[in-house]
Amino acid sequence: MITYTYSEARQNLSSLLDNAKKEGEIMIRRKDGSTFMVRPINSVKSPLDVAGVDVKISSDEIVSSIREIRER
């Protein structure tokens, strides 16, 4: 696990975050000895989050189809 001093972390935040993403976690240590862990958060997407499909039908055609189905 990579450990940075507070000054190193402050000066190189972008590369520190890249390392945290690659390594899984990194530590930052202050002069007083306190230590902090930085870990990336894995975003979880919903399985229902899908792209829409453009079927090129008008709203009138949709309403007409729904009415036809309801009449059955």
Judged against a pLDDT cut of 90, whether residue 2 lies above it is answered with no
User: Which range of residues forms the domain containing residue 16?
Assistant: 1-41
% pLDDT > 90, the chain: 71
**Model pTM score:** 0.56
User: Does 3 fall in a domain?
Assistant: yes
Q: Could you tell me the CATH number of the domain that includes residue 3?
A: 3.40.1620.10
% pLDDT > 70, the chain: 100
pLDDT single digits (tens) 19-52: 999 999 999 999 999 999 999 988 788 888 888 8
User: Does 19 fall in a domain?
Assistant: yes
What pLDDT is attached to residue 64? 94
The CA distance from 1 to 3, in Å, is: 6
Counting DSSP H helices and E strands in the chain, the numbers are 3, 3
